[in-house]
Chain A
Amino acid sequence: KNEVEQSPQNLTAQEGEFITINCSYSVGISALHWLQQHPGGGIVSLFMLSSGKKKHGRLIATINIQEKHSSLHITASHPRDSAVYICAVGFLGETSGSRLTFGEGTQLTVNP
């Protein structure tokens, strides 16, 4: 079964700390997505990766295809970064190329 595992499940940090959230997957992928969900439900896409590294403001996402692993880093964390971060993967060989498999999410709390 195609699987996506995230760690940690919960993370509490102090404002200003460097944060890392990890995602591992089981087989070859077409793309990996990092999503953010704030309280109240809305989910937004942060990054889509198929190789290498992407940066947007204080957020950095990396992927290692050989090791089947991705990380999401937040530099100089801020309380407004508090949210659930979700890793989602499009697996190669899916009958529908559009279907994603989701990790369970990481609840991040950044305290002032």
Chain B
Amino acid sequence: DVKVTQSSRYLVKRTGEKVFLECVQDMDHENMFWYRQDPGLGLRLIYFSYDVKMKEKGDIPEGYSVSREKKERFSLILESASTNQTSMYLCASSFWGRGYEQYFGPGTRLTVT
């Protein structure tokens, strides 16, 4: 079974802090994604990566950056956390087989105070 893990289930940070969210997948998938999920807005894509060191902006990249130095690991960085970045963050991975079916991590509930 594919396993996607995220570094924290719950995180509380202060405004202005630099925040790192880490995601690791164990199935050698080439594609990895970061989403945020807010009530009434569904899943929104922040960034995705289709190969090591490659990244593309999603629909809401402002205030975020990403890093993919190794194939299995995709990091989301909030350079200076703000209260409007309080949200559920979900990581996913996929590969070309099975129609790019995405496998999701358990999510990180981030609260910025």
Q: Would you give the 0/1 interface string for A88-106, flagging 1 where the beta carbon is closer than 8 Å to chain B?
A: 1010000111111011110
A30 to B92, CA, bound (A): 19
Asked if A44 is at the interface (CB within 8 A of a chain B CB), the reply is yes
**Which residue of A is nearest B35, CB measured?**
A102
A97 touches B100 (CB 8 A): yes
- Classify chain A: how many residues form its interface, as a range: 20 to 34
Question: Which of B42, B102, B104 is within 8 Å of A103, CB to CB?
Answer: B42
Residues of A within 8 A of B101 (CB): 33, 45, 48
The smallest C-beta distance from A32 to any residue of chain B, in angstroms, reads 9
A31 to B98, CA, bound (A): 10
Residues of B within 8 A of A50 (CB): 99
Residues of A within 8 A of B61 (CB): none
A43 touches B104 (CB 8 A): yes
Known contacts A86-B43, A98-B50; is-contact A43 B99 (Cβ 8 Å): no
A47 to B39, CA, bound (A): 24
The smallest C-beta distance from A24 to any residue of chain B, in angstroms, reads 15
Q: Would you give the 0/1 interface string for B68-89, flagging 1 where the beta carbon is closer than 8 Å to chain A?
A: 0000000000000000000010
Asked if A57 is at the interface (CB within 8 A of a chain B CB), the reply is no
A104 touches B41 (CB 8 A): yes
Residues of B within 8 A of A112 (CB): none
A45 touches B102 (CB 8 A): yes
Enumerate chain A interface residues (CB-CB to B < 8 A): 30-31, 33, 40-45, 48, 50, 86, 88, 90, 95-100, 102-105
Enumerate chain B interface residues (CB-CB to A < 8 A): 30-31, 40-45, 48, 50, 56, 58, 88, 90, 92, 94, 96, 98-104, 106-107, 109
Sample of 13 further A-B pairs with CB below 8 A, known A31-B100, A41-B106, A45-B103: A33-B99, A33-B102, A41-B88, A42-B107, A48-B101, A88-B43, A98-B30, A98-B31, A98-B48, A99-B45, A99-B58, A100-B100, A102-B43
